[in-house]
Amino acid sequence: LNGGHGKVRNVILGTIFVGILLNGMTIMNIAYTIQNLVKGVVLLLAIVIDSLVNPRDEQTSQQGDL
């Protein structure tokens, strides 16, 4: 966990993306539970991709902050 590296622009873009995704699924009459499942998978994918693109450095990994 390394705080302070996010940008407001990225938060806004992510929020808009999730909003459009949920709105589209609502228009397509997809069940609410499936919408939550899709939203969870998208968020997990974002976390995994972020951890692969921005790996923890050696100093942070030695702190054991998990």
For 46-56, the pLDDT digits (tens) are 889 988 887 77
pTM score? 0.69
The two three-digit tokens of residue 12, written as one number: 């806004």
Domain boundaries, the chain: 8-52
Of the candidates 14, 13, 15, 38, the residue with the CA atom closest to the CA atom of residue 28: 38
For 1-40, the pLDDT digits (tens) are 555 567 899 889 999 999 999 999 999 999 999 999 999 9
Q: In the block, which residue shows the tokens 């702190």?
A: 63
User: In the prediction, which pLDDT does 37 show?
Assistant: 96
Of the candidates 54, 42, 48, the residue with the CA atom closest to the CA atom of residue 5: 54
Q: pLDDT band at residue 66, thresholds of 50, 70 and 90?
A: low
The two three-digit tokens of residue 19, written as one number: 């909003």
Distance (Å, whole) CA 39 – CA 21: 8
Of the candidates 32, 31, 50, the residue with the CA atom closest to the CA atom of residue 42: 50
